[in-house]
Amino acid sequence: MRHRGTVAPRAEIVAAVWDVNVGSDSNLLEVYVGYLRRKVDEPFGRNAIQTVRGHGYRFAADGG
């Protein structure tokens, strides 16, 4: 949230949240991003958590 609008690379998120030994082919991050979207975005009808294909994720600068 401190870096709204900035893309966080997938590898950086995985390393910060889980053990760096989590395989790069694991979909663990995508599963948890889905959980977050259901909690943060869907109830309020917004798109705050955005996927940047080939790069990672970002929290919308305007809050979605």
Structure tokens at 14: 């995985």
- What is the per-residue pLDDT across 28-41, written as a single tens digit (0 to 9) for each? 889 999 999 999 99
Residue 16 lies in a domain: yes
SS3 38: helix
Residue 33 lies in a domain: yes
pTM higher than the cut 0.85: no
**Count: domains in the chain:** 1
Domain residue limits at 13: 8-59
- What is the per-residue pLDDT across 6-64, written as a single tens digit (0 to 9) for each? 999 988 888 888 876 766 667 888 999 999 999 999 999 999 999 999 899 999 888 77
CA distances, 40 to each of 9, 26, 27, 59, 64 (Å): 20, 23, 20, 11, 10
Residue 1 lies in a domain: no
